[in-house]
Amino acid sequence: MRHGGSRRKRSSSFVRYLVLLCAVGAAICFLMLNVLMRMEASSDQYGNGERFEEPPAQTTGMEGRRSSCAMVEQMGDPFKDGVRKESLRVRTIIQNHFYLNGASRVRQLPPEQFCKHGFVMGKSSEAGFGNEMYKILTAGALSIMLNRSLIIGQTRGKFPFGDYISYSDISFTLKEIKHLWRLNGCVKKFNRRLIMRIDDFEKPAQTNVLCSNWKEWEHPIIWFQGTTDAVAAQFFLKNIHPTMRAAASNLFGWPEVLESRPNVFGELMRVLISPSKNVEEAVFSVLKSGADPDISLHMRMLMNRSVRGLQAAVQCIRKAMLNLTGLSKPRLVLVSDTPNFVKSIVPILDEFAEVIHFDYEHFRGNISGTDDEFHKLDFRVKDWGPSPRWVAFVDFFLASRAKHAVISGAHRRVGTTYAQLIAALAAANNLDNLGNKSTGSDFLFLSSFQSNLLREGLKNQIGWGHIWNRFAGPLSCPSQPNQCAVTPLLPPAWWDGLWQSPIPRDVKRMENYGVHLTSFGTVDEDSLRSFCNAKKNVLRTIPFIL
């Protein structure tokens, strides 16, 4: 897999080039493309040949003519075999990392070694759960790439979402680092002040994510700020320094071989977080003494109750059930930001599934006591729904117990950060370490699209951190019917896959980072290198007073 990457990349960008030619119009191109794809399929060394078995075809609109665009199910097809092997590989990397750099070993280091040790800060506030969780997970990923220990920042002595989430003891708090820095005499004996270097991803002109070799940074603490989704950590995949690229690829795989990229964020969550006792009690109150759910359905409806979303979701549930033979009715967890939508669809789903749902109004547990702080927050009802905030945590941990599939449906954007993290954690929970016997089928993450979301292809999936954004450019066909697409567990950050292409808004956004994308989203490496050479080095640090 490793060494094959560049060959694959070259040929697939050639295919993409042909696709472009075809888009320009010559029908003969379709023939050439077909021939080429057959050749690719037969010469493919990785057993990924099925990607090319069917030449790209579009049946809507153009009377079955070969086409220069793909449907969303076709885009998702390469992900159907799962990423079991790659995820187990990353699980081992994570285990080894936290064995070496976990708090329990590092706090025992002799002063000389401790004072030389490096840390990465993971800091988040209590805004939207998906975005804030990604900040912590990005820090975890960066700590692995840089071989540093992880700090999880606290605010007034409390961890982010600390009432609802428990953190494992593999990370440090800043308070402990300050204490150990004093105790070990790092300043006096080793002349090493406790300084944090800050790099703000949300300021494209300032961030060093693409241009600097972070492994050479000597500051005791590094904080990569503003990393609200799966994208930021994966920017290192295109860093101009080979060592940074290698570190990123070791974790995230190769951006051009989308179907082999491990479930990094799910594996990180698995070792970093668990539900607090309160939240876990609420989860168990829904499951009662019954088994874990088979399927989780997350519908982000933004207060809309349109039936189209439901129709598409039902199609996805049926697809997920195909391989659940022997079950008369699957157990299905329903999670939504729109309570009225839940009320209206439960009776419909009840006919073929055993629907379970967390109804906070009838929950008599102890969480509501800690609810006050959230009510003080000026939260966006439109975005998060009218339920109390803590319900999102119960829903999250409940839905991530799905054994078989997570389905993401939406009124507008499918595969938001919240849905991504549910699927990632559920997949990690289902990845057993014991032997290689598969328990039936692999875990599935499915995206349910109603046709009105696909009228202009995926063009409206504009959220930078949403899974289908990287497929939203001109290679997605217009006027597609309802579909249920297999979805990658690791949201792609680049556009190197066969059917990936950027929307104009993202091309502009990437220009700010010094990245010139070709019309199919490949990075112009030369122009990035000259951008980096010309860029002035921004160094922002803050010292800590011990």
Ligand X SMILES: *[C@@H]1O[C@H](CO)[C@@H](O)[C@H](O)[C@H]1NC(C)=O
Answer for which of 323, 340, 438, 512 binds ligand X (CB under 6 A) is 323
Shortest CB 184 distance to ligand X, Å: 15
Residues 400 and 285: their CA atoms lie apart, in Å, by 15
Pairing of strands 195-200, 540-543: antiparallel
Residues 458 and 468: their CA atoms lie apart, in Å, by 7
**Which residue is closest to ligand X by CB?**
435
Residue placing its CB nearer to ligand X in the complex, 309 or 492: 309
Helix (H) or strand (E) holding 449: strand 444-449
Closest by CA to 78, choosing from 47, 118, 99, 119, is 47
Answer for which of 12, 101, 249, 500 binds ligand X (CB under 6 A) is 101
* Residue 222 in tokens: 């590094």
Shortest CB 299 distance to ligand X, Å: 13
Q: Which stretch binds ligand X (CB under 6 A): 41-49, 153-161, 198-206, 317-325?
A: 317-325
Closest by CA to 142, choosing from 202, 205, 207, 225, is 225
Shortest CB 412 distance to ligand X, Å: 8
User: In the stretch 360-389, what mask flags binding to ligand X with x, by CB under 6 A?
Assistant: ------x-----------------------
Residues 244 and 499: their CA atoms lie apart, in Å, by 26
Cβ atoms 138, 233 nearer than 8 A: yes
Q: Which stretch binds ligand X (CB under 6 A): 3-11, 169-177, 432-440, 465-473?
A: 432-440
276 scored as a contact of ligand X (CB under 6 A): no
Residues 453 and 434: their CA atoms lie apart, in Å, by 41
Closest by CA to 338, choosing from 384, 389, 379, is 384
Total site size for ligand X, rule CB under 6 A: 16
Residue placing its CB nearer to ligand X in the complex, 104 or 306: 306
Shortest CB 153 distance to ligand X, Å: 21
Query: Which parts of 444-473 interact with ligand X (CB under 6 A)?
Result: 444, 452
Neighbours of 86 (CB within 10 A): 20
SS3 of 181-234: the string is: HHHCCCCCCCCCCCEEEEEECCCCCCCCCCCCCHHHCCCCEEEEECCCCCHHHH
Shortest CB 125 distance to ligand X, Å: 26
Answer for which of 13, 206, 311, 441 binds ligand X (CB under 6 A) is 441
Helix (H) or strand (E) holding 166: strand 165-167
Query: Which parts of 291-310 interact with ligand X (CB under 6 A)?
Result: 304, 306
Residue placing its CB nearer to ligand X in the complex, 225 or 239: 239
Helix (H) or strand (E) holding 248: helix 242-252
Q: Which stretch binds ligand X (CB under 6 A): 6-14, 292-300, 316-324, 515-523?
A: 316-324
* Residue 533 in tokens: 């050479």
147 scored as a contact of ligand X (CB under 6 A): yes
404 scored as a contact of ligand X (CB under 6 A): no
Residue placing its CB nearer to ligand X in the complex, 99 or 464: 99
Distances (CA, A) of 307 to 340, 342, 372: 12, 12, 35
Query: Which parts of 58-97 interact with ligand X (CB under 6 A)?
Result: 80
Q: List residues binding ligand X (CB under 6 A).
A: 80, 100-101, 147, 304, 306, 319, 322-323, 366, 435-437, 441, 444, 452
